[in-house]
Structure 1
Amino acid sequence: MALTSAPAASYALAQADLPVTDPAEKATLAAVALGLLALLAAAFDADPTRARLSFIVALALVSGGTLAWSWLKFGRRPAGVHQNNLWQRASTSRGAIAWVTGVVLTGFYVVLYWFPGLLENLIRTLDPFSQTLRAKPADQWFLYGTFYTLAVLLMGARALWKYRHSRYQLIRTCSVMFFQLGFAFLLPGLLLAFQQPEYYFTYFWPLKYDYLFPGTVGYLVKDGQALGVFMVFWGAVMSFLATPVLTYFYGKRWYCSWVCGCGGLAETAGDPYRQLSDKSRQAWKWEVRIIYPILALIVGLTALLWVGASGTVPALGAVTQPLSRFYGFAIGAVFSGVIGVGFYPIMGNRVWCRFGCPMAAYLGLLQKHFSRFRISTNGGQCISCGNCSNVCEMGIDVKQYAQRGEPIIRASCVGCGMCSTACPRGVLNLENGPREGRYQSSQLIHADSLRILS
């Protein structure tokens, strides 16, 4: 009789323990798969009418299938965070399905950025919608914005079913859905329809790095247009005044988990992969080594561009323009798009936010050293189940803090609140308390309070 290796036996046992997907869920997933096939057909159909029909059918099947599956998967079970089988399923534990998903996402971003001609048929299917919203034909970025917004809305609906027991998660999810649909999709399109500059009011420097570049500022304020002047004023105020003030009171969560489109996609479409974030100290070291140099790079580049634009050092143009193009390619495209989203199924849903986003680095410094925000813990109630660490998308080993009763004050924490939501004992609480005693453990604070009262 042939012997079976231990890993193979363990894998077979794990697969045997997986619950069987019921026929209704299978039907909804089949509808999503058919929708993706219809989308593929639309991409390669040269006939505009057939391509548009296939595109409409694809959106209907994907949207209807996703919403129906979300209700069947989460709406029929008791409310609460259920983490059963996450590390057994091939789709959520870096298995074959996850790798295929990652390759497809990465391939889409590569085509979108550098081979948009391959998407021409899909782009043309959106011309009527683009003409209605923006009064101009569709382009690759309108196609991307449509897909992006649809992903946030559909997977946001999934999150609403999944976390319906948590008021904080419901409000936060609705917030990112609202800002993505209203401020990152519809409003920029309407601005174009009224022949105004396309502007995203929810993106600020240094994340939207070119918004404070001399060329962009000059374009927005040309001819003294009031709206353009307001856009420049808005961007500067949000970057240098509102961001520090809001972060002081609420931590970086006010932006990273409530407003930002990158965070919105991570919290909705990326939610199935949050447990994949590396919690090791080595990963944290790489995080520090990468994200802060990127912040320094964009700060230095912006300063150099303004010095060059002033005419003080004319020779700077030979340096700043290639550097600007390099940043746009390496950070703005490859890191934030290809890696930042394409690697969701392999490295977790906050790869870009954790390792590359200069806005996250800026907010993190403010949160770490100047904010009132913290996550308080009660070590006496912790049962070391590890749910909090498992759901942390930013690679923080929350359990280690909870066991010791230490407050969590980390630059990387985006305040998503999932650790608190997943905790079965109510050990973790998101607070905006006074800075006095911010680094004290909950036990010490409690002891101090008793001593004062006595």
Structure 2
Amino acid sequence: MKILKTLRLLGLVVFIASVLIFIGTLFIGGYALTEKTIETVFSSKTDYVTTTLKDVAKEKGILNKEMGNAFVFTNEIESLLENYNTQVTTAIAKEKGLSEEEINQIFKQSIQDDTVVYSKEILQNVFPNDAAKVKLVDEATNWMYVGTKKYEKAADFKNDFTSKISDINRNNAQEYLIYPNKYTKFDLVKASIVGPLQENNTLYLFLTFGLGIIGALMFILTGLFLEPIPGIKNNGIYLSEATNRGWVALFVFAFLVSFYILLYFYPFYIVNWTRIVDPLKGVFIKGASASQWFLYGILYCVSMIVMGVRMFIKYRHNAYQIVRTASVLFFQIIFAFLLVEILPLFDLPGVDLKNAWPLDYNFVTDWNVKQHLEAGHLGKFMLVWGVVLSLIVVPVMVYLYGKRWYCSWVCGCGGLAETLGDPYRQLSDKRLIAWKIERWTIYPILVFAVIMTLVVGYNTYNIVYNPSNVGDSTLFGINAYKINEIYGFLIGSIFAGVIGTGFYPILGNRSWCRFGCPLAAYMGIIQRFKSRFRITTNGGQCISCGNCSTYCEQGIDVRAYAQKGENIVRASCVGCGVCAAVCPRGVLKLENSTEKGRINPNEILLGNDLDLMDLVNQK
């Protein structure tokens, strides 16, 4: 017994060490921008782009200069790209657009005694031998002509004209510009890594992922021998700093939230982590560089597998929990990770074939539809499958088995919640106000998703099937790209990722599924009103211990239903079955049966009813 406890403690130490090494790798090594880096990252661009970028880097003094801080290096990259774009735009403007000198000539002739007299004749005077340039400027600024628009102030005219000319110059330089978005910065920063990680990433893969897995399994597997008698044991769960919002939980919370913020919005700061998993990416494509999403997929799968082992041990006496855990592991590893990596090798879209709308909010975007249509018959089949899955398979399966078939058996979000999030399920809010907030948030998000889908789908239809109407990307006055971007930021990133997973140690493991997931809302409506699924209760056996309510990850007050002997038919129930598993009296049972008698509200007097005396006096 003492040896087992020592091994368990050693496993914990090894795991903590791996986490600290993992965090520390962000600050290992340095970054140096070289000519080779520029040529590699922008290999698809013209020689003009790479040559000019090298020249600008030399002028700034950052070419071949090693920097030890990713934050400083990224700032230098941003400045470099801004300077490059300015220089390119200026150069192209002299050749194809309007230079500063030409703009000033137009201003000189167009403003007389602070009165604007701008006209096409002035353009012809400034460009007597360049009809093409006259036409270019005329088409963009003819609404500013003296007979069309009256300017009270010359400064207003200058601002309007300068803005339009800037657009012209930028459009002319479009093919040469490099936008300093997070993806460009990620590619540049990662390609510039120098030092230990660049040379020994396999070693760091073992020191982080390898030791982390070994340490975690040592800690988990020893529990099988320390507690050899099967049965769910949640002893001391509210006394632990890790599972009751203590300092350990706060550290995990801070780490998860920080990770998701970096993953979604600042991936160029975690390039060292992606460098660690490059050897794993090389299994699929030799020499390929791992993206932040590949890193996320590896972390996701490793977390689910390790914590899945914990689930197998903890619930080893419960066949339902074992099969359910095996199912979510299968769908995550095979469908959400391996197939996503393998399909592109055959020129097919790398998509998660189990991801249903509206959880997959990019399903009807033009780029997604086009890549499916361009991938041949299999690509078209995958597109049709997505429609069938969302509109036919989902509602039929919910009718037959409840939303548990997806939320607790298939879904990746649910899979992570049921494995990594299992230690936090007791933290879900059981108060009535939480139930109200749940309904106030999840259904408006579903409506938001439907509206977004209609607008984006209309735009996609125009692009794919009605090219003559391509310029019209709005519906009901809503811009398709803007609403998709807003939804992706607020719901897809902040709610589903930062809050949904990052807040596990604070809000419990199903805050996203309970308060935000539009697919859960869609299935919940069907489950509530048209499904064969219910959790039946044998009220006579209930001893009101409260285990069921405590460990309900969806915040349902299961005990209240059990005390009444009332079936649990809640839209939010994901059918995880833990309420039935922790019940010491066998009161609860997950069933699929006929719809008759499924909803059976029983109004009975309870000992803690605040209106008990009033009700007695009314008799």
- Among residues 38, 54, 65, which one is paired with 2:215 in the alignment? 65
Tell whether the 8 Å contact from 2:348 to 2:372 is kept in structure 1 after alignment.
no
Any idea what SS the aligned residue of 1:431 has? strand
- Among residues 133, 145, 152, which one is paired with 2:304 in the alignment? 152
> Structure 1, residues 167-202: CA drift from partner, whole Å, max 9, x if none?
000000000111111111111101122232111011
> Structure 1, residues 73-110: CA drift from partner, whole Å, max 9, x if none?
24531211112111111111111111111011100111
Tell whether the 8 Å contact from 1:391 to 1:418 is kept in structure 2 after alignment.
yes
- Among residues 417, 428, 432, which one is paired with 2:577 in the alignment? 417
The 5 A counterparts of 1:193-232 are: 193-222=345-374, 225-232=376-383
> Structure 1, residues 335-365: CA drift from partner, whole Å, max 9, x if none?
1000100000000000100011001000100
**Post-superposition offset of 1:28:** 1.0
Tell whether the 8 Å contact from 1:388 to 1:398 is kept in structure 2 after alignment.
yes
Tell whether the 8 Å contact from 1:376 to 1:407 is kept in structure 2 after alignment.
yes
Any idea what SS the aligned residue of 1:341 has? coil
Establish whether residue 106 from structure 1 lines up as the match of residue 257 from structure 2.
yes
**Post-superposition offset of 1:157:** 0.6
CA distance in 2: counterparts of 1:69 and 1:337, whole angstroms: 27
Which structure 2 segments of 5+ residues have no match? 30-195, 463-468, 605-619
- Among residues 220, 227, 248, which one is paired with 1:97 in the alignment? 248
Letter in 2 for 1:409: V
CA gap of 1:305–1:441, structure 2 versus 1, over 3 A, is closer
CA distance in 2: counterparts of 1:267 and 1:424, whole angstroms: 21
Establish whether residue 33 from structure 1 lines up as the match of residue 183 from structure 2.
no
CA distance in 2: counterparts of 1:134 and 1:406, whole angstroms: 55
CA distance in 1: counterparts of 2:225 and 2:386, whole angstroms: 41
Letter in 1 for 2:425: R
CA distance in 2: counterparts of 1:156 and 1:279, whole angstroms: 26
**Post-superposition offset of 1:442:** 9.9
TM superposition score normalised by structure 2: 0.66
Partner of 2:480: 320
Letter in 1 for 2:251: V
CA gap of 1:197–1:389, structure 2 versus 1, over 3 A, is same
Higher mean C-alpha deviation, range 122-131 or range 62-71: 122-131
Letter in 2 for 1:320: A
**Post-superposition offset of 1:24:** 2.8
Any idea what SS the aligned residue of 2:384 has? helix
**Post-superposition offset of 1:38:** 2.4
Letter in 1 for 2:531: S
CA distance in 1: counterparts of 2:405 and 2:473, whole angstroms: 41
Partner of 2:499: 339
**Post-superposition offset of 1:22:** 3.6
**Post-superposition offset of 1:127:** 2.1
Higher relative contact order (CA 8 A, sep 6+): 1
> Structure 1, residues 341-391: CA drift from partner, whole Å, max 9, x if none?
000000000010001100100010010011100000000000111111111
Partner of 2:178: none
CA distance in 1: counterparts of 2:536 and 2:309, whole angstroms: 29
CA distance in 1: counterparts of 2:459 and 2:519, whole angstroms: 24
Letter in 2 for 1:24: L
Higher mean C-alpha deviation, range 144-153 or range 132-141: 132-141
Higher mean C-alpha deviation, range 345-354 or range 92-101: 92-101
- Among residues 191, 205, 225, which one is paired with 2:343 in the alignment? 191
**Post-superposition offset of 1:315:** 5.8
Establish whether residue 123 from structure 1 lines up as the match of residue 278 from structure 2.
no
CA distance in 2: counterparts of 1:243 and 1:214, whole angstroms: 24
Between Structure 1 and Structure 2, whose CA radius of gyration is higher? 2
Establish whether residue 235 from structure 1 lines up as the match of residue 393 from structure 2.
no
Letter in 1 for 2:417: A
CA distance in 2: counterparts of 1:99 and 1:131, whole angstroms: 35
CA gap of 1:395–1:215, structure 2 versus 1, over 3 A, is same
Tell whether the 8 Å contact from 2:402 to 2:532 is kept in structure 1 after alignment.
yes
CA gap of 1:315–1:57, structure 2 versus 1, over 3 A, is closer
The 5 A counterparts of 1:265-284 are: 265-284=416-435
TM superposition score normalised by structure 1: 0.90
> Structure 1, residues 218-251: CA drift from partner, whole Å, max 9, x if none?
22112x6111101111100000000111000000
CA gap of 1:96–1:308, structure 2 versus 1, over 3 A, is same
**Post-superposition offset of 1:128:** 2.7
Partner of 2:186: none
Partner of 1:140: 292
CA distance in 2: counterparts of 1:368 and 1:197, whole angstroms: 35
Any idea what SS the aligned residue of 2:589 has? strand
Tell whether the 8 Å contact from 1:367 to 1:373 is kept in structure 2 after alignment.
yes
> Structure 1, residues 37-68: CA drift from partner, whole Å, max 9, x if none?
22234333332233431222221211111112
CA gap of 1:310–1:120, structure 2 versus 1, over 3 A, is closer
Letter in 2 for 1:189: E
CA distance in 2: counterparts of 1:50 and 1:315, whole angstroms: 48
CA distance in 2: counterparts of 1:181 and 1:249, whole angstroms: 26
> Structure 1, residues 397-422: CA drift from partner, whole Å, max 9, x if none?
10111111100000000000000011
Letter in 2 for 1:125: I
CA gap of 1:66–1:419, structure 2 versus 1, over 3 A, is same
Any idea what SS the aligned residue of 2:409 has? coil
Establish whether residue 426 from structure 1 lines up as the match of residue 586 from structure 2.
yes
CA distance in 2: counterparts of 1:158 and 1:137, whole angstroms: 32
Higher mean C-alpha deviation, range 110-119 or range 315-324: 315-324
Partner of 1:82: 233
CA distance in 2: counterparts of 1:384 and 1:75, whole angstroms: 32
CA distance in 1: counterparts of 2:472 and 2:364, whole angstroms: 20
CA gap of 1:309–1:184, structure 2 versus 1, over 3 A, is closer
Which structure 1 segments of 5+ residues have no match? 1-20, 445-454
Higher mean C-alpha deviation, range 408-417 or range 86-95: 86-95
How many residue pairs match? The answer is 423
> Structure 1, residues 270-295: CA drift from partner, whole Å, max 9, x if none?
00000000000100100000000010
